[in-house]
């Protein structure tokens, strides 16, 4: 009971902390980026179609916002408490470390999700003024994006327990795995990326045709289904969370020395 209460309290504390500090500014700017693009397009382009919205989802949200937000989310899970040297207060309470870790992951994810969902809703609302964009497409974008956010977030959160420079290394990792490797013309390699599965979920559940989307759909094998991608993302999330829990239980977490 004490563990559950602790987890809930820590989650609430982490949720409240999402929109504070410099990282919050970066997150809000990141979330505002696709909204800004959507605004410019809706305001100045002659023709605006639903496929423009899909391009923003696939290229803006899934390729930029979600990975970077996931990176910020992941490194802040324990990173904020370690760098702020407040982790001592939490780790000397009768709440297991894994519960503190999970609480912070859940709370941070909830905060980031709100920002992400708000941004997608705003973007959808802008496009709906000029083109036929259904809320179901926005819903698919939010759902796929949140799964991606949790996947990235839990990977980078686990990484932060091991590495002090997780932000930098996470950025490199994201660029290499999600960017370079997944684009290599080698059969099956693209399935290694989280982007691939987010995009599959989005394209398979909406009817909007975009050149990028059509190209993507043509490259999919018949075995690549929504269920399959859901399983892959769920697997990534579960393994990453389990790894994080194991690391936080077994690995010593040191508070950095004060800067004089």
Partner 1 sequence: MIARFRHVAKWYGAVIGLVDADVEIGPGVTGLLGPNGAGKSTFLKLLTGQLRPSQGEVRLLGANPYTTAAVHGRIGFAPEPDAFYEDWTGRAFVTFLVRLHGFGRAEAARRADEALDAVGLSDVAGRKIRTYSKGMRQRVKIAQALAHDPEVLVLDEPLTGMDPLWRRRLMDLLKKLGARGVTVIVSSHILHEVEAMTDTFILLFQGRVRASGSRGEIRAFLSDVPHRIRVGTPRPKDLARALLDLPGTLAVRLDDEGVSVETTAPDTLFDTLPALVLDRELPVTELREADTDLDAIFGYLVG
Which residues lie near partner 1 (CB under 8 A)? 1-2, 5-6, 9-10, 13, 17, 20, 84-86, 88-97, 252-255, 258
Torsion angle, alpha carbons of 52, 53, 56, 58, to 10: -100
**Whole-number minimum distance, CB 11 to partner 1, in Å?**
12
**Whole-number minimum distance, CB 158 to partner 1, in Å?**
19
Q: How far apart are CA 244 and CA 156, in angstroms?
A: 9
| Nearer residue to partner 1 within complex by CB, 183 or 249 | 249
Contacts of 216 (CB under 8 A, 6+ apart): 58, 199, 203
| Nearer residue to partner 1 within complex by CB, 84 or 211 | 84
| Nearer residue to partner 1 within complex by CB, 67 or 103 | 103
**Whole-number minimum distance, CB 139 to partner 1, in Å?**
35
**Whole-number minimum distance, CB 140 to partner 1, in Å?**
37
Q: Tokens 């997150």: give the residue.
A: 27
What is each CA distance from 31 to 36, 63, 117, 224, 235, in whole angstroms? 9, 12, 9, 30, 27
| Nearer residue to partner 1 within complex by CB, 85 or 242 | 85
What is each CA distance from 74 to 18, 23, 254, in whole angstroms? 12, 12, 18
| Nearer residue to partner 1 within complex by CB, 93 or 242 | 93
**Whole-number minimum distance, CB 164 to partner 1, in Å?**
13
């Amino acid at each position: 009971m004490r563990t559950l209460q602790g987890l809930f309290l820590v989650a609430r504390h982490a949720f409240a902390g999402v929109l504070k500090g410099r990282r919050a500014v970066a997150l809000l700017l990141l979330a505002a980026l696709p909204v800004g693009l959507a605004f410019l397009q809706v305001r100045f382009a002659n023709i605006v179609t639903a496929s423009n919205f899909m391009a923003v989802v696939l290229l803006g949200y899934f390729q930029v916002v979600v990975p970077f937000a996931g990176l910020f989310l992941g490194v802040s899970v324990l990173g904020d408490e370690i760098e702020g040297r407040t982790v001592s207060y939490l780790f000397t309470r009768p709440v297991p470390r894994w519960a503190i870790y999970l609480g912070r992951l859940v709370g941070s994810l909830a905060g980031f999700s709100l920002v992400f969902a708000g941004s997608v809703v705003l973007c959808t609302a802008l496009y709906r003024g000029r083109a036929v964009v259904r809320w179901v497409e926005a819903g698919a974008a939010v759902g796929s994006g949140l799964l991606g956010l949790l996947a990235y977030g839990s990977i980078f959160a686990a990484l932060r327990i091991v590495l002090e420079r997780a932000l930098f290394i996470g950025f490199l990792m994201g660029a290499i795995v999600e960017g370079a490797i997944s684009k290599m013309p080698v059969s099956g390699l693209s399935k290694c990326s989280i982007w691939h599965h987010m995009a599959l979920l989005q394209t398979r559940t909406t009817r909007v045709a975009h050149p990028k989307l059509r190209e993507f759909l043509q490259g999919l094998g018949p075995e690549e289904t929504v269920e399959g991608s859901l399983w892959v993302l769920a697997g990534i999330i579960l393994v990453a969370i389990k790894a994080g829990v194991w690391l936080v239980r077994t690995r010593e977490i040191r508070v950095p020395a004060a800067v004089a």
